[in-house]
Amino acid sequence: MSVSRVAAAQALIELGQYGSVIDVRSPSEFALDHLPGAVNWPVLGDEERRVVGTLYKQVSPLKARQVGAPIVARNIARHIERDVLERPREWRPLVYCWRGGQRSGAMAWFLGQIGYRTAQLDGGYKAFRSALRADLDTRVAALRWTVVCGRTGSGKTRLLHALQAEGAQVLDLEALASHRGSVLGGLPAQPQPAQKRFDTLVWEQLRQFDPARPVFVESESRKIGALLVPETLSERMRSHAECVFVEMPAEARVRLLLDDYGHFARDVDAFCKQLDGLATLRGRAVVKTWQAAAREGHWAELFAELMAQHYDPLYDRSMQRSFGGLRAPHRLTLVNHEHTTLAAAARSLLA
């Protein structure tokens, strides 16, 4: 069978129609980002790609192809033997590489020669990335947004989870970013994804939403850890969204923070190192006092001070300046972060 080429914008719509989406780039390229649901069948591994690329630049394209061709052929053969022999006749794969050139072309040709109706992504991942960003902007504009606001420790994220459990549409940006959004928000042993991967994860979530129903999202800043929230989404949240302002008593907020950030008690040095990032804003002497409290195990007192002296003033200034919906928000009081409290609050919002 012949190989057809499919445009990136069309591939966005048809992704679910392919039997497999095959990324033939190297493992490191795949790890940075890939199409939703893609599997990695590299035709050149990371070191092989480096060797062939060096030959291309320093010797000649001919020498690079002479060396690369047998490597590509052997790798394709292994993928076919491992992953293709049991595929039915109706299997329809979509194959792509970086720009839709030789790497995906070689794999697509072999699969087409076997007899499978194979599609090759025109322009490769690079074209897909451009189409995704444009489609993301369109989807953001089409959705109705409700932003959940509130001071640190007031239960915003847990309320989002409760809303999701009640069937609401929820975009949990912190979960997608693997970060809680503050200077202390890094998650233990869980690095953040690359920016491109984060964008793809956001888009993948957006395409599952029904524009006729609201989408709940937390009042994030423009950056979550090292990652930028897509600009159109950030602007939409700030200028064209309703706001729910969540409040919780200070004592309950401290208990929630002790629950969420309990891992710092197991690595006090890491916590103190992260506190160093507040020295510019709060002064070295204040930060040293907080670090001493952490080393002495006074976590409740420390979190209460962090809320009063750092997080609350910073959040109040930022939110009032950034989110237009806070001029007339729906106010919601949570007495604690217990499951029954959150579930009842979620149901009241949806009602």
Among the residue ranges 17-31, 187-201, 253-267, the one predicted with the least confidence is 253-267
166-180, 269-283, 312-326, range with the lowest pLDDT: 312-326
pLDDT at 281: 82
Does residue 100 fall inside a structural domain? yes
* Host H or E run for residue 148: strand 144-150
Confidence of residue 324 (pLDDT cuts 50, 70, 90): confident
Phi/psi of residue 255, each to 5°? -60, -40
Are 45 and 127 contained in the same domain? yes
What whole-number distance in Å separates Cα of residue 253 and Cα of residue 153? 5
172/294 same-domain check: yes
| Assigned domain for 137 exists | no
Q: What pLDDT is stored for residue 181 in this prediction?
A: 76
Which pLDDT score, from 0 to 100, does residue 156 have?
Answer: 95
Q: Do the domain assignments include residue 118?
A: yes
Average pLDDT of the residues in 29-34: 98
> Residues 12-24: pLDDT tens digits?
999 999 999 999 9
Tell me: do 260 and 122 sit in the same domain: no
Judged by average pLDDT, the poorest of 82-91, 137-146, 227-236, 264-273 is 264-273
| Residue position matching structure tokens 């394209």 | 61
- Give the contacts of 235 (CB within 8 A, at least 6 positions apart): none
Q: Does residue 109 carry a pLDDT above 90?
A: yes
121 and 151 fall within a common domain: no
- Report whether pLDDT(346) > 80: yes
* Domain shared by 150 and 222, yes or no: yes
Judge whether residue 198 has pLDDT over 90: yes
Residue 45 belongs to a domain with what CATH number? Answer: 3.40.250.10
Cut 0.75: pTM above it: yes
Specify the number of domains making up the chain.
Answer: 2
* Domain range for 44: 3-131
Does 195 reside within a domain? yes
209 and 94 together in one domain: no
Distance, CA of 245 to CA of 218 (rounded, Å)? 10
Is a pLDDT exceeding 70 seen at residue 1?
Answer: no
Within-domain flag for 138: no
Domain match, 108 and 252 both? no
In the set 97, 149, 243, 272, the catalytic residue is 97
Claim to verify: residue 9 and residue 124 sit in the same structural domain: yes
Q: Evaluate whether residue 207 is within a structural domain.
A: yes
Mark which of 83, 105, 131 sits at the end of a domain: 131
Long-range contacts of 87-92 (CB under 8 A, 24+ apart): 87/19, 87/116, 89/115, 89/116, 90/19, 91/19, 91/20, 91/116, 92/17, 92/18, 92/19, 92/116, 92/117, 92/118, 92/119
Q: Indicate if 319 and 205 belong to the same structural domain.
A: yes
264 and 288 share one domain: yes
For residues 190 and 327, membership in a common domain is answered with yes
The residues, any chain, with a CB within 8 Å of residue 14's CB and separated by 6 or more, are: 6
Assess whether 97 carries a catalytic annotation. yes
Judge if 92 and 183 occupy the same domain.
no
Q: Domain boundary at 101, 131, 161, which?
A: 131
The residue from 131, 154, 169 where one domain ends is: 131
Task: State mean pLDDT over 188-209.
Answer: 94
Q: Does residue 104 lie in a domain region?
A: yes
Which domain CATH number covers 244?
3.40.50
Asked if residue 253 is part of any domain, the answer here is yes
